[in-house]
Structures are given as C-alpha cells and as structure tokens.
C-alpha cells in the first residue's frame, strides 16, 4: 500500500508539473516571439529556447530528486523523505523504521522483519522506544492478545526479553506510538541526517539557475524589435 501511495503521489505531482511546464512554455514562447525583431525571427533561437526552458527545468527537477534518493539511501543510509516506509540507520548499524508509517520496528544488520511482532534480530509494532547502554527498551502492541508488551532488546547478543504490561486497543497504542512523549519517532528524528536535504536544495537552485542564465544569455544576445500584427 505504501508503494502505491508513493506512485500516486509521483503521478499527481508529475501531472501538475507537466501542465505547469506547458503553460509556462506557451507564455515564454509568445513573449520571446514578440521580443525578437521581425527581420530576425526566422533565424532566432530565442522562441525555441524559451519554449524549451520550462521542460528542461522539469527534467532537471526529476534528475535532482533521483540523485537525492541515491544520496539518501547509499550515503546517508536513510529514506529520501518521500517514502511511505521511512527508516534511518543508527550509529550501531541497526535500522529504525516504520512500515507504512504506522508499524515501528528495530532490526539488526543482516536481519529482516517478519509477520510476528518479535523475531530473530528484530522487534516491530513498537509504541515507545529508548536506546541506552546497548539495549533497546520500550513497549510494543501484540495483535494476537491485544495487549501491550515490554521488551528489552540486547544489541550485543540479539537476545530479546518480553513481559506483559496489560490490555489495550490498537487505536490507543497507535496514538501513543505516533504522538506519545516516548514515541519511537523521537529517536528516528534524533538520528536522521538533514544534509541530504541541503544538497537537494543546492542541486535544484544551481540547475534551475543555470537554465535561467542560459535563457537570459540568449535573450540578451537576440536583436529585439516589434513584429508585425501577424505575429500577435
């Protein structure tokens, strides 16, 4: 479901991006055509460049986002910020994430989460989470018993100790997991790198600025005048 949500988000923004590029392209083309001297209009590259600039800008935006994804995944070892399955890699190599943004988990390097809320090398369905002295401690929601369970996950030997804490509902457990004071999201935010976002901003500004400068140079070097009424 998370993958489908990301796909629909990309399709939606892509549709509006193409629509905006088409509108800007038409407007810039008409302005450029009115700006060029009528005697030079057949030889001028300005109208074509003006029409192409918005689409070049859109292509660069897509390229910058793809680069951002690779930087986030391969260098920062975290999600890119657009995923429905966010995660960060902690300094000890364990991954803290949330399947579908609601199912918090901690998993050891080389292990994967499974259906059970606790298994070899992982704990999921987390409500509260603390990391101290090589131990992940907190609470999780057990769907089978509809109860809260306390856990102690020893990162040195991957031993997990479980104890019952009492009955609850999924709604109450999820509210605490998402907005509670000890929510696992606090640890997620603490270890999430912000520098990939600055690189993305730099890529966008530099690339779009270069396209704008290229168009400006063509505009300034083009003889200007007023075309006849047939061009209006």
Task: For Cα atoms 47, 49, 51, give the angle at the middle one, nearest 5 degrees.
Answer: 70
> What's the whole-model pTM score?
0.85
46 in the same domain as 26:
yes
Give the pLDDT of residue 5: 60
164 in the same domain as 150:
yes
94 in the same domain as 61:
no
210 in the same domain as 174:
no
**Domain presence at residue 81:** no
Give the pLDDT of residue 232: 44
**Alpha carbon distance 40, 29 (integer Å):** 15
166 in the same domain as 98:
yes
Q: Is the pLDDT of residue 37 over 90?
A: no
162 in the same domain as 142:
yes
The percent of residues in the chain predicted with pLDDT above 70, rounded, is 89
97 in the same domain as 48:
no
**Domain presence at residue 59:** yes
**Domain presence at residue 82:** no
Give the pLDDT of residue 43: 54
Q: Is the pLDDT of residue 11 over 50?
A: yes
Q: How many domains does the chain have?
A: 2
* Domain residue limits at 125: 87-190
Predicted confidence (pLDDT) per residue in 94-137, tens digit: 999 999 889 999 999 999 999 999 999 999 999 999 999 999 99
Q: Is the pLDDT of residue 36 over 80?
A: no
220 in the same domain as 183:
no
Average pLDDT, the chain: 90
92 in the same domain as 184:
yes
200 in the same domain as 179:
no
Local confidence band at 12 (pLDDT 50, 70, 90 cut-offs): confident
Distances (CA, A) of 66 to 7, 63, 70, 84: 14, 5, 7, 17
Predicted confidence (pLDDT) per residue in 142-153, tens digit: 999 999 999 999
186 in the same domain as 201:
no
């Amino acid at each position: 479901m998370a993958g489908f949500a990301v796909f629909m988000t990309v399709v939606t923004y892509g549709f509006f991006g193409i629509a905006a590029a088409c509108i800007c392209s038409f407007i810039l083309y008409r302005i450029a055509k009115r700006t060029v001297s009528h005697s030079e209009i057949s030889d001028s590259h300005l109208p074509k460049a003006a029409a192409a600039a918005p689409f070049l800008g859109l292509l660069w935006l897509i390229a910058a986002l793809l680069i951002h994804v690779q930087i986030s995944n391969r260098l920062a070892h975290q999600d890119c910020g657009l995923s429905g399955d966010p995660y960060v890699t902690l300094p000890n190599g364990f991954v803290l994430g949330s399947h579908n943004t609601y199912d918090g988990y901690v998993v050891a390097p080389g292990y994967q989460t499974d259906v059970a809320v606790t298994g070899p090398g992982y704990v999921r369905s987390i409500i509260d989470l603390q990391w101290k002295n090589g131990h992940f401690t907190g609470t999780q929601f057990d769907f089978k018993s509809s109860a809260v369970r306390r856990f102690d996950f020893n990162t040195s030997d991957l031993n997990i100790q479980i104890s019952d804490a009492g009955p609850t509902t999924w709604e109450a457990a999820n509210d605490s997991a998402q907005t509670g004071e000890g929510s696992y999201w606090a640890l997620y935010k603490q270890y999430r790198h912000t520098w990939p976002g600055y690189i993305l901003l730099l890529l966008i500004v530099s690339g779009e600025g270069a396209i704008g400068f290229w168009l400006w140079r063509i505009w300034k070097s083009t003889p200007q005048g007023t075309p006849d009424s047939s061009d209006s």
